[in-house]
Structure 1
Amino acid sequence: MATFSELIKGTTPVLVDFFATWCAPCKVMAPILDEVKSSLGDKVTILKVDVDKNPKAAASFQIQGVPTLILFKEGHIKWRQSGVVQQHILKEIINTHS
């Protein structure tokens, strides 16, 4: 299995969901991300990072609120947003960077 840094340096877009188990909006994002993944398949890799279990990862990307979604491609941040993001918007952003 590839490491986080190896994955985000790849040519496939990687959508990282920084979340917390106690966060209500994060629970809303879960089924949206499942739908995006089932719709786009191999066009995107979706990773979930629990900020309470991975404080270093959260700190390194200056995560101040959850959920925060960051889209990486070839090691660069292509898009970032905090809060709940609707499925059609996520698909559009991922397709733009595919």
Structure 2
Amino acid sequence: MDLITLTKDNFNNQLQEEDKPLLVDFWASWCGPCRMLSPIVDELAAEMSDSVRVGKVNIDENPELAEQFGVMSIPTLILFKDGEVVAQSVGVQPKADLITMIEENSK
């Protein structure tokens, strides 16, 4: 499963596209913690593709999306289900915690 590069142009379409929840990683290239979290997000995209879609928003290129969802610190992960925010995580989190967040909010 490939990661989805999300922009202001495709975000709403991706949000409504499938019945699977969408995990969105808000990040920036200059952010050290974002670089630490990125491989974990990549693993989640590969390992959990049956239950969740994973996308990334570069906040430098899409500041309006970060503003729309109140992203004040990065990395921030937001899980959407049926177009609504159902969970949020700020900062670098262990992979197991992120899996739990996805599983508990995807039912």
TM-score by length of 1: 0.90
Amino acid paired to 1:15:
L
Distance 1:29 1:73 in 2: 22
Q: How does 1:21-60 map to 2 (within 5 A)?
A: 21-60=29-68
Matches within 5 A, 1:1-98: 3-9=10-16, 10-98=18-106
Q: Distance in 1 between matches of 2:49 and 2:19?
A: 15
Q: Which has the higher contact order (CA 8 A, sep 6+)?
A: 1
* TM-superposition CA deviations, 1:23-53 (whole Å, max 9, x none): 0000011111111122212311111100000
Unaligned residue ranges in structure 1 (runs of 5+): none
1:70, distance to aligned residue in structure 2 (A): 0.3
RMSD: 1.5
Q: What is the aligned partner in structure 1 of residue 3 from structure 2? A: none
TM-score (norm 2): 0.83
Distance in 1 separating the partners of 2:59 and 2:30: 11
More displaced stretch, 66-75 vs 40-49: 40-49
What are the ranges of 5 or more consecutive residues in structure 2 without an aligned counterpart? Answer: 1-9
Partners of 1:82 and 1:92 lie apart in 2 by: 15
Q: Percent identity?
A: 39
Which 4+ residue blocks in structure 1 deviate beyond 4 angstroms? none
